[in-house]
Chains A and B, each alone.
Chain A
Amino acid sequence: MNTASFQETLDFAIGRERAAVEFYRELTGKAAFAAQKSALAEFMAMEEGHVAMLTGMKSRGAVNLSPGAAVDLGLARRLAAEEEPTAAMDFQDILVAAIKKEERSGDLYRSLVAAALDPDVKAIFERLEAEESRHKRYFEELYETQVARDN
């Protein structure tokens, strides 16, 4: 794989994570009380961590991500279609937004894997897709234990 395409691929992924940071920043702008802001700040910090991680990989010239995808709990597929959280958003609304966002990212990387011609680029996208599946799984578990406790 040439250096240019490696850099481009990582730049793309970093751009996605930065967009995720912005996603939470935007939601924070809508938040009306401390509990909402705290949850959003935590999730935003996680995305900032991902930006830092990918930036580090880019500068080291190697993608150090596990290729193993997380087990799919199948929750994201069943959750109601997108609905923008409002100022009254509760933890369920925030988690659903996070799960759907991770699901979209996973879908995107999956399509990029399918479209990639360069096997090295393909391998990177596969690892990024797996990484997104782990993020989604993290939020799905939170949803299962904190929200849908009785279901």
Chain B
Amino acid sequence: MIKGSVKQDARENRAAKFLVSGPPLLFLVVFFVAPSLIMVLTSFRFPGEFGGLAPIAAPAGASPGEYGLTAEAYQFFFGDILYARIFLKSFGVAATTTLICLIMAYPLALLIARSKKSFRNLMVLLVVLPFASNFLIRIYAWMIILGPESGLSYFINTVLGAFGIGPVALLFSPFAVLVGMVYVHLPFMVLPLYTNLEKHDSSLLDAAQDLGATRWQRFWRVTWPLSLPGVFSGSALVFIPVLGMFAVPDILGGTGDILIGNLIKDQFLGTRDWPFGSALSIMLTLAVLSIAGMATWFARSTIRQRAES
């Protein structure tokens, strides 16, 4: 009797789980798995003469060899060190952006989380406020801020000039790309950090203080380890979108600022080479997934280590 109801409970529990996880699962299937499969197929086909794809089956009277499936796009990708270099460069930019965002966002998130409750919502609102205006307009605004005639340029070059360093151009440079990337993605780092830091129990810090911990020790031994989940999710929210970003390097970048996002966009527009664009996207997805996998593994093992010690 009792056994049966436990079994029934477990079954109901499972049904409830499915009902809760069903819609997101469906979303993933429809908007991630299915498009990814289409992309995999696309990457093994021949590009159409006018964009799009060559038909899989050769129409009557057409020259052979241009139809069906091919690994040509991947041969092209692995046949040249060029593409590995552009991947490496993009990952470098993404990692740098993430690090800068983290360094800038952490104090801010901490400040918001530790301030009075009535201020918190206002401050969070201020962090989110830039989203109210269009992303491109905000990037164009940076063109004016960083432009050679701007006050900022004038100030920086006056300071540098005092040290005998020649005038530098801020706009159209890797620096401008980094500024744009950090600016756009900063809120994505602040918000997860804030939601994490806000939940911390302040009595832990009091206890640490009572036990003689210095300010730094309290941060490094208590707050920081507890905030790691926020750090990881914030980093993922910044790192991954930066990899796909093409508008910022397009608008703010100089003559050498091409990233993987630009290259992929180019394959679908200028070059009209969908298979190669798909192959590039798939390689990017694989790279991101493997990095995410490594990060999860790393996060788990550090948390386990800390728990053990």
Chains A and B are bound partners? no
Interface residues of B (CB under 8 A from A): none
Interface residues of A (CB under 8 A from B): none
